[in-house]
Amino acid sequence: MTDRRQFAPATERNRTPILETLKAWLPESGTVLEVASGSGEHAVFLAPNVKPLKWQPSNFDPEQVNSVTDWIAHSPSENLLPPVRLDVTAAVWPVEAADYMDHPITAIFNANMIHISPWRTAEGLMAGAGRILSEGGRLYLYGPFKIDGEHTAASNIKFEAWLKSLDPEFGVRDIEAVRTEAAKHNLLHKATKPMPANNFMHMFEKA
């Protein structure tokens, strides 16, 4: 049988600091929706460490959905749900469907997406989180960010140049622009934690 798992080397390096931060910030119950799960390596590592919360992976790219499926088969956990195909720019996400069985979604986690996709994905992420989360629900964003329009490390200047060589609409986002977009959907910025390799974890809470 074909192994469709993908491998992202950075995942193993950053997963423990991400877990430590999430465990301090996650709610006690419900389902965590991971938007843009990528290879699925974060999901199979994080899920068993955040029980009794359920973990709902998702991806837009079908090959990445397949990768998550095969990672779950390789490293199952009873609280790790099958991945769903999710387009963050859609007006309705699959987890909003009446037949979705794992409500309530009390938290949303998104790592390394909004800089390597057009800005409209950040807009879609905030709109979807605003629809799905109830008061007190939390959104966590992980990745590189600018502060007051400035990069936080020289390496991120080179990284952004590479991103824009892929697509001019890509780029490291300024956290103030992200805060402004989030506030449109009653998502208030509550905390920031510096992370290894010039990344940050930002927490937003639904008002």
pTM of the model: 0.97
Residue 74 domain-assigned (yes or no) = yes
Nearest to 170 by CA among 181, 182, 161, 180: 161
Q: How far apart are CA 28 and CA 9, in angstroms?
A: 30
Residue 1 domain-assigned (yes or no) = no
Residue 168 domain-assigned (yes or no) = yes
Residue 127 domain-assigned (yes or no) = yes
Q: What is the CATH number of the domain that holds 32?
A: 3.40.50.150
Q: Which of 8-12, 112-116, 138-142, 185-189 has the lowest mean pLDDT?
A: 8-12
Residue 3 domain-assigned (yes or no) = no
Q: Would the pLDDT of 9 be above 90?
A: no
Residue 139 domain-assigned (yes or no) = yes
pLDDT category at 11 given cuts 50, 70, 90 is confident
Q: How far apart are CA 204 and CA 207, in angstroms?
A: 9
Going from the C-alpha of 130 to that of each of 53, 70, 116, 163, the distances in angstroms are 20, 31, 22, 28
**Mean pLDDT score, 85-93:** 98
Number of domains in the chain: 1
Going from the C-alpha of 6 to that of each of 27, 122, 126, 151, the distances in angstroms are 29, 24, 27, 30
Residue 189 domain-assigned (yes or no) = yes
Full domain range(s) for residue 176: 9-206
Nearest to 33 by CA among 70, 88, 72: 88
Residue 4 domain-assigned (yes or no) = no
Residues contacting 199, CB < 8 A, separation 6+: 14, 142, 143, 144
**Mean pLDDT score, 183-190:** 98
